[in-house]
Amino acid sequence: MNLKIAVLPGDGIGPEISEQGVAVMSAVCEKFGHTVTYEHAICGAAAIDSVGDPFPEETFQTCMRADAVLFSAVGDPRFDNDPTATVRPEQGLLAMRKRLGLYANIRPIETFDCLIHKSPLKDELVRGADFICIRELTGGMYFGEKYQGNDRAYDTNVYTRLEIERILRVGYDYARRRHHHLTVVDKANILASSRLWRQIAQEMAPQYPDVQTDFMYVDNAAMRMIQEPRFFDVMVTENTFGDILTDEGSCITGSMGLLPSASTGEHTPVFEPIHGSWPQGKGLNIANPLAQILSVAMLYEYFGLKQEGALIREAVNASLDQNIRTPEIQVEGGAHYGTREVGQWIVEYIKG
């Protein structure tokens, strides 16, 4: 296969983990006889600084030309504490999602046996937890009409039938490929938009008789994820709830640095870690590259290249088993490996 990849390193630790993602991507290509070409593009604060736009037209065109985007992270503290800033790095991420039509964000929540102790939850609760959160990514409050005055402000949580149907279909498709259990997470006791979600899901459920559909209010789901994470197989939810629940989900795994995601929809799919740009870690060679590297595994799997994805997962597991770990997940007294060293170890493993 010939793959054309748009690489968007972004801000903070983004460039460091991006480099390792690209190195792993190349090693796997070489191993399996694929060819890959990369085109780098700017986004986030880096793009605001150089062209005043967090998702410049040129970056969009680079993404459109590619088969897939390998995205890292955006965000910069210079903008976080300034409510008057009119351009923000995060707007670049939202623009990318909207313009590429990436309505389905797939966030797997898995555990690694050797890291169970890193979870703040009890071992017996999290062991074996393995579910996918499917987050709607181009609708809801993130994109609804907004207003910010001095004394009043609002964000509207709009969803159309089309948007709800297409994301529920993704949910059902994943449930069919897994354990045939779909949980629709909403707030239908309060929100009209949620009631439409629930109505449409109830209409669609009979088309998927092999899937058990259940409904859960988001507050209850937040609790259930902590009390009994193994309950879930596939969860589907709106943009805002998915944002919040997947951060919570990362605690099941034990580190934000381990969770990859795929965003798919109308145009080029994007593969990215769920974590942010961690500006405090920038340039220190301490960021965990595994979420980015596992995003590369998801990229291969998206194109049906299962063995390639499996080899990356095997390499990641081996690195964890052998304690080749960045500081936040290293065992007490264990050697410290940096972003580069972990990435390099995985590359060597892949080369075999």
| Residues at the site binding ligand IPM, with contacts judged by CB under 6 A | 75, 90, 93, 243, 274, 276
Binding piece for Mg ion, criterion CB under 5 A, among 117-125, 224-232, 235-243, 300-308: 235-243
Output 264 or 319, the one with its CB closest to ligand IPM.
264
Using only the alpha carbons of the chain, give its radius of gyration: 20
Considering the complex, what minimum distance in angstroms separates the CB of residue 3 from ligand IPM?
24
Considering the complex, what minimum distance in angstroms separates the CB of residue 323 from ligand IPM?
29
Q: Is 214 one of the catalytic residues?
A: no
For 272, the token pair is 């990215």
Q: Is 243 one of the catalytic residues?
A: yes
Output 90 or 341, the one with its CB closest to ligand IPM.
90
Q: Is 49 one of the catalytic residues?
A: no
Contacts of 330 (CB under 8 A, 6+ apart): 323, 336, 337
Considering the complex, what minimum distance in angstroms separates the CB of residue 21 from ligand IPM?
17
Catalytic hit among 103, 142, 159, 337: 142
Considering the complex, what minimum distance in angstroms separates the CB of residue 91 from ligand IPM?
8
Catalytic hit among 243, 300, 337, 349: 243
Output 76 or 243, the one with its CB closest to Mg ion.
243
CA-to-CA separations, 208 to 171, 197, 241, in angstroms, rounded? 11, 16, 24
The residue with its CB nearest to ligand IPM is: 90
**Residue 243 interacts with Mg ion (CB under 5 A)?**
yes
Output 77 or 128, the one with its CB closest to ligand IPM.
77
DSSP per position, 57-94: HHHHHHHHHSSEEEEEE---HHHHT-TT-SS-HHHHHH
**Residue 238 interacts with Mg ion (CB under 5 A)?**
no
Q: Is 219 one of the catalytic residues?
A: yes
Q: Residue 90's binding partner, choosing from Mg ion, ligand IPM, none, with beta-carbon cut-off 5 to 8 A by kind?
A: ligand IPM
Contacts of 291 (CB under 8 A, 6+ apart): 17, 256, 257, 258, 259, 260, 273, 274, 275
Q: What is the distance of C-alpha 131 from the center of its chain?
A: 14
* Number of residues written out for the chain: 352
Classify the C-alpha dihedral 331-337-343-347 as positive or negative: negative
Amino acid symbol at 186: D
Q: Is 173 one of the catalytic residues?
A: no
C-alpha 140/C-alpha 307 separation (Å) is 37
Q: Are 111 and 81 in contact (CB under 8 A)?
A: no
Active site amino acids: 142, 187, 219, 243, 247
Interface with Mg ion (CB under 5 A): 243
